[in-house]
Structure 1
Amino acid sequence: MTSRNGSVSLGTPTGCLAMFPGQGSQRAGMAEYLIKAYPSARRLFARADEILGLPLSRICVSGSAEELGRTEITQPAIATTSLAVWHLLQSAGYRPAATTGHSLGEYPALVAAEVLTLESALELVRLRGRLMGEVAREVPGAMAAVVGLPADQVVAACGGAGDAGLVQIANYNEPLQTVISGHAHAVEQAGKAALEAGADRVVPLDVSAPFHCSLMNAVEEEFTAALAAQPFADPVLPVISSVTGTYVRSGEEARELLRRQLTGPVRWVEVLRTAARHPVGAYTEIGPGRVLSGLARRTLGEVRIRSTGDPRRLTAIYGALAPDQWQPALAS
C-alpha cells in the first residue's frame, strides 16, 4: 500500500485496523450520547444536517426505529455517527495502521484516509440510499444469512434456485456465514436448498432492498455519474476494500470500487485475512453496533477487539487515549 507521499505502510504487530460498520448496525438513539457528551460530535452532526438538508441530529437522537430504518436515512445516519466517533478518537491520538468498511462503511473509511471529504461522502451516501430505496420499491427483493455452511455450498444452493428468479451471494461475512440477495422467492428457495445441504439455519434479514446483487444494475448508471462528479484523492492511510479484500492503491481505484460495490459481494473474510497478514494485531469497530467485532472474532479467533457502539465502551477507549480530556468533554 502506497500512501499519498509515496511511503509504504502496512501496519506493525501492534497496529490497529479501524473498521466502519454498514447498514444493519443502526438503532434508535444511537448518537444521543455522542451528541450530548462531545462538542466535536455536535459540530459534525450540525455540519451533516447542513450538507444533507436533513434533521439528522434529531433523527439519530430521538427518531423512531421506523424513521431511522428508511434506507435513504439509514445510510447517512450510520456514516455520520461513525465519522463523529472517528474524529473524536482521532483528536485523542488514535492512529490506526489501516482502515476498512463493511459495504456502506467503506465511505467513512475513505474519509478517514482522506480519499473523500465529509461533504462528498455524505452526498454520495445519501444518493446511494435513495437509489437503493427505489430498487426496493420496484423489486420484491430479500436477503438472508446462511449460517453453518461453507460459502462454496451456499453458492451451489443459489445456483439450484435459478428457476425461481435471481439470487446471488451478497456478503462473505465469515467462514460459516454467507448472505444471499435477490428476488424474494429465489432467496427463499436458495435458503431451503442450503438447509438441505446442512446449514444450521437461514435467517431472513430486515432490510429494505436486495443489496449487493445485479438487481442494483438499474441504478448503476446514475450512481456512476455521481461518483464521477466527486473528487477522489489518493489515500494517506492504507484502506482495505470490501469489494476485493485487498488494499486500495489510488483515488481512482477507490472510485471504481464504489461503483462495483453496488452489485458485487462484500468480501469481509478476505478483508480480515488481509489485515491479519500485514500484520494487524488489534481491531477497533468505529460506529454503532458490534456486528463487525463478532465477525472478526469468529473469523480470526482470539484477537484484540474493541468497539465504540455504546457509552461505556466509547468512554473506555476515549478515556484511555486522552485521560486528561474526556471528563471535561463529558461535562460540557
Structure 2
Amino acid sequence: MDNTSSHEIAMVFPGMGPTAYADIERFATEVPSAWRLFAEADEALGYPVLGRFRDTEGDYSEYAQVAFLVTCLALAEWAEREALPAPPGVCAGPSFGGKSAAAYAGSLSFSDAVWMTARLARCVADYFSREHSGLVTHSFVRVQPDVVEEMLGELTARGRIADVACRVDRDFFMITLSADDLPGLEKGIRAAGGLSLYTMRPPMHSPAFSWLRERAEKEVLDELDFAEPRLPVISDHDGSPLTTGEQVRNLLLDGFVKQMHWPGTVEALRAHGVRTVCVAGPDALFSRVPATTKNFTVVPVGPKRPLLAARDS
C-alpha cells in the first residue's frame, strides 16, 4: 500500500447509524484532533455538543447528528496523518455522509457544516412532526432485486408509498413505506428467504418528501455559500463526479428525495481509478458489505482505532 497514489485513494464517510455517547466518548475527549473539532463545534453552536449528546435520548437527535459529523471529520483528519500513504484524491459520503463529504472537500467550512447539520436536524424533526408521521424506512437483506420490485409494485398499485430509499448492495435494501404496510412487507421478506434488520423513524430518501427539500433549501441551505470542492465528490445518487459548489449543494438537497445507491457509487469510484477506500466514522455497514470489500482495499477508521494506535505506540 506504500506505493498507492492519491488518485487511487478515496475518503468515504458512512451513513449515520445509531451511535451511543459511550462509542465516541474517549475518542472525542482524548484524541487532539477530535477534542479540537468538538471545541470548534461548541463555539459554532453556542452549546456543549458532547454534553447534550450524552444527556439527550434518541439515535438521531440534533446533538447525535452533530457529534457524528464531528467524529467523522476528526477521524478523517487522523487517518490522513496516520493511516494512509497519501491524501485521498476523491471522496464520497452515502446518505448522511454527504454532509461530512461537503466539509471534507472544502465546499463548506467546518463551522458552516456544523451549523447546517444542527439546523437541518431541527427542520427534519419539525417536518415529520407535521407530515408523513406514519412513514418509516425498513432495511433488509438476502432478497433478490426482482423480488423486491415485485413486492413494491404490489404496494404502489394500491396507491401506497413504497420507495427504495437505499440500495446498499445487490440484495440489501432500505424501503420507505407506511408503518401500516410494514407487516405485509416483512411477511414477504421472510417468504423470499430474506432477513429484516431494523426500522428507522423518521424515514428518509423518498420523492414524497419534496416539500421537505424545499423547506431545507429555504430555511437552511439558502443561508450558506458553497465553494468549489478541492477534490471531486462522487454522488451517492448517480455516481457522477461533483466539481462545483452548486453541485454539492444540490447533492445535499436531493438526498431528501433521491435514492442512495451505494453499488453505483462503488462503480463510479472504480471508474475514477480508486483502489483503496478509507471509511472514516462509526460504521458497521459501508466498510463491510461485499460491494465494498470485493472492490477495494478497505481501511476502516472508527473511534477506537486512534486510541489503540496511541496505546501501541
Shorter-chain TM-score category? 0.7 to 0.9
In structure 2, the residue matched to 1:17 is: 10
The one-letter code sitting in structure 2 at the alignment partner of 1:78 is F
In structure 1, the residue matched to 2:67 is: 77
Deviation at 1:168, TM superposition (A): 0.6
Pick the aligned partner of 1:146 from 121, 140, 145.
Answer: 140
Asked if 2 retains the 8 angstrom alpha-carbon contact of 1:170 and 1:211, the reply is: yes
Pick the aligned partner of 1:88 from 62, 78, 84.
Answer: 78
d(CA) in 2 for partners of 1:91, 1:203: 36
d(CA) in 1 for partners of 2:229, 2:146: 33
Alignment of 1:134 onto 2:126: yes
- Describe the superposition over 1:91-111 as per-residue Cα deviations: whole angstroms up to 9, x where unpaired: 557511211112111111111
Alignment of 1:93-172 (within 5 A): 95-138=87-130, 139-162=133-156, 163=158, 165-172=160-167
Deviation at 1:282, TM superposition (A): 1.2
> Helix, strand or coil for the counterpart of 1:17?
strand
Cα RMSD (Å)? 2.6
Alignment of 1:321-332 (within 5 A): none
Alignment of 1:47-66 (within 5 A): 47-59=40-52, 63=54
In structure 2, the residue matched to 1:177 is: 172
Alignment of 1:287-326 (within 5 A): 287-295=281-289, 297-301=290-294, 303-311=296-304, 313-315=305-307
CA distance 1:273–1:216, shift in 2 (3 Å): same
Deviation at 1:89, TM superposition (A): 2.9
d(CA) in 1 for partners of 2:180, 2:207: 16
Asked if 1 retains the 8 angstrom alpha-carbon contact of 2:18 and 2:59, the reply is: no
d(CA) in 2 for partners of 1:77, 1:232: 22
Asked if 2 retains the 8 angstrom alpha-carbon contact of 1:22 and 1:78, the reply is: no
d(CA) in 1 for partners of 2:115, 2:6: 36
Deviation at 1:327, TM superposition (A): 7.2
- Describe the superposition over 1:182-237 as per-residue Cα deviations: whole angstroms up to 9, x where unpaired: 321234433434444x24222332x2211111342332222112222211111111
Asked if 1 retains the 8 angstrom alpha-carbon contact of 2:29 and 2:35, the reply is: yes
Asked if 2 retains the 8 angstrom alpha-carbon contact of 1:115 and 1:234, the reply is: yes
Asked if 1 retains the 8 angstrom alpha-carbon contact of 2:38 and 2:70, the reply is: yes
> Helix, strand or coil for the counterpart of 2:92?
strand
The one-letter code sitting in structure 2 at the alignment partner of 1:112 is Y
> Helix, strand or coil for the counterpart of 2:11?
strand
Asked if 1 retains the 8 angstrom alpha-carbon contact of 2:165 and 2:174, the reply is: yes
Pick the aligned partner of 2:237 from 209, 222, 243.
Answer: 243
> Helix, strand or coil for the counterpart of 1:58?
helix
Structure 1 window deviating more from structure 2 (229-238 vs 48-57): it is 48-57
The one-letter code sitting in structure 2 at the alignment partner of 1:104 is F
Deviation at 1:127, TM superposition (A): 2.1
Asked if 2 retains the 8 angstrom alpha-carbon contact of 1:18 and 1:285, the reply is: yes
How many residues were matched structurally?
Answer: 304
TM-score w.r.t. the length of structure 2 is 0.87
d(CA) in 2 for partners of 1:203, 1:265: 19
Deviation at 1:52, TM superposition (A): 2.1
Asked if 1 retains the 8 angstrom alpha-carbon contact of 2:7 and 2:90, the reply is: no
TM-score w.r.t. the length of structure 1 is 0.82
Deviation at 1:14, TM superposition (A): 7.6
d(CA) in 2 for partners of 1:154, 1:278: 30
Deviation at 1:266, TM superposition (A): 0.5
Identical pairs, percent: 23
Pick the aligned partner of 2:265 from 248, 254, 271.
Answer: 271
d(CA) in 2 for partners of 1:14, 1:228: 33
Asked if 1 retains the 8 angstrom alpha-carbon contact of 2:233 and 2:242, the reply is: yes
Asked if 1 retains the 8 angstrom alpha-carbon contact of 2:137 and 2:201, the reply is: no
d(CA) in 2 for partners of 1:13, 1:111: 19
In structure 2, the residue matched to 1:4 is: none
The one-letter code sitting in structure 1 at the alignment partner of 2:164 is I
